[in-house]
A and B are shown apart, each in its own frame.
Chain A
Amino acid sequence: MVMTQSPATLSVSPGERVTLSCRASESVDTNLAWYQQRPGQAPRLLISGASARAAGIPARFSGSGSGTEFTLTISSLQSEDFAIYYCQQYNTGPLEITFGQGTRLEIK
């Protein structure tokens, strides 16, 4: 199972709306999670089940998709949102879980 994220890097300005993409090489139903990783920190769960925000995650983060195509949207970028975002499929868990290679959000 291969997870492909695009783009690899995205340069955006605070306040902008941004959409990150994740594609699975085969269907994962909605067993898809998104994580945020800031420099020097552990990944943090943002979204599970493709669209359910984790506890404490702001409403500006939203996820959608099913099957092989997924998106993470941040409606209005805040300074703390500039980080790396990973998608992860767990449809084949616990036999195998797979992460995408990440999308880096940079300040324009």
Chain B
Amino acid sequence: DVQLVESGGGLVPPGGSLRLSCAASGFTFYQSWMTWVRQTPGKGLEWVATIKNDGTEKTYAESVKGRFIISRDNDKNLVHLQMYNLRGEDTAVYFCARDRTTSFDIIVVPGALDIWGQGTTVSVSS
């Protein structure tokens, strides 16, 4: 079965750190771009970060740039989101998703998010 399973969420105080992981199975992970999206009741769905299939390119939303780091381990079919200096507004359910973006040399063809995990909850509070 095609599956993404997130883990690592929890309660963390403001200024704290947390590392989320997403385990992929059932598809060719090393060929797939991956994206993190978060959801809060007040702001709906918000794109967080994207990583190229080989890990050489990473992009971030302005709201997390400089605080979050996306990475991947293609040997273990894992994608991670390391979060530093967490704020209350980072409280959300975090989803990982397979991104159908592809690239050929310097040409990037953007794509939709076709597989989603069930999400992991991050709460930032003292």
A interface residues with partner B (beta carbon < 8 Å):
31, 33, 35, 41-45, 48-49, 54, 86, 88, 90-102
Contacts and interface: CB of A to CB of B under 8 A. Distances in A.
Interface residues of B, number: 26
Residue of A33, A94, A98 contacting most chain B CB atoms (<10 Å): A94
- Secondary structure of the A side of the interface? loop
A86 B57 contact: no
Contacts of B110: 31, 90-94, 97
Interface in B34-71: 35, 37, 44-47, 50, 52, 57, 59, 61
Interface of B: 33, 35, 37, 44-47, 50, 52, 57, 59, 61, 95, 99-101, 108, 110-114, 116-119
Contacts of B61: 96
A49 B119 CA distance: 25
A94 B116 CA distance: 17
A46 to B, nearest CB: 10
